[in-house]
Structure 1
Amino acid sequence: MNLMFHGVLILTMLSFCIASNPNTIYAMRMYVTNAIEDNIVVHVVGQGGDQGNRTLAFNSEFDWKFGVKIGTYYKGEFWWGSKFQSISLFNGQIYCFDGDIFRVQRCYWLIRPDGFWYHFRNDTFPGNWNKFATW
């Protein structure tokens, strides 16, 4: 038992040393893809700063990378014509983690007419995508 505790402790400390930022637990790359045949406007803001406004044409993508720390969050504000929705893109409730803290994790968002879908792999839709919200 004591040996196992020390092993977990060493691995945890090693992961903090390997990270590019000493406070970063792991790296995340976020992708937001417009699957609506009209342009949408996306504004992303979070603990890591304001990613700005982007106008996404059909099938275009907005992506950014950030270090995950305790309490990291990002939210997206989306406009599609007269429709508006504000959702969490990354927080403790969004599961986009494959368990390997030593490589960059990925989270894919697909914005569709029926709502907002996410997955930790860029699988073919609908597959195992999770619906998070509607317009």
Structure 2
Amino acid sequence: MNDPITVHVKSEDDDLGYHTLALNENENWSFCENLWKTTFFYASFNWNGSRTASFGVFDKPTIPHCQKWRFGKSRLCFWIVKDTGFYVAPHLTPFPNGWTKMHDWSWWT
């Protein structure tokens, strides 16, 4: 998995644009969760034109795998992209300890 991955992250209110990430590069952003805890960020991924994926990167299924909410503190979610799929964790730890697989790649031929 040495080819770059194109990532597009957006919410209902914010479009963070397209970013192309090389091996070991990262993308990060911050935002304020709304009071109703319905904040939703969505991402699409394209790897070498042969694999794609689209899913919520901050949504109800993901939040339990992120750091717990604390007043006045940012909630962190860490994602790692592997050729085997997409994994999330509440802390940046060596893979695979503490990482939960959330999504697979879709293959295009």
Identity of aligned residues (%): 29
Deviation digits for residues 3-33 of structure 1 (CA, Å, limit 9, x no counterpart): xxxxxxxxxxxxxxxxxxxxxxxxxxxxxxx
CA distance in 1, matches of 2:45, 2:69: 30
Amino acid at match of 1:77: S
Asked which structure has the greater RCO (Cα within 8 Å, sep 6+), the reply is 1
Unaligned 5+ runs, structure 2: none
Superposed, which structure 2 residues align to 1:52-131 within 5 Å? 52-69=17-34, 70=36, 71-81=38-48, 82-94=50-62, 95=64, 96-131=66-101
Superposed, which structure 2 residues align to 1:38-49 within 5 Å? 38-49=3-14
- Partner of 2:16, secondary structure, is strand
Larger radius of gyration: 1
Amino acid at match of 1:51: L
Number of aligned residues: 100
CA distance in 1, matches of 2:60, 2:104: 20
Amino acid at match of 1:129: W
1:72: Cα distance to partner? 0.6
Unaligned 5+ runs, structure 1: 1-35
Contact 1:43–1:78 (CA under 8 A) maintained in structure 2: yes
CA distance in 2, matches of 1:109, 1:117: 6
Decide which structure has greater strand share.
1
Amino acid at match of 2:86: F
TM-score by length of 1: 0.70
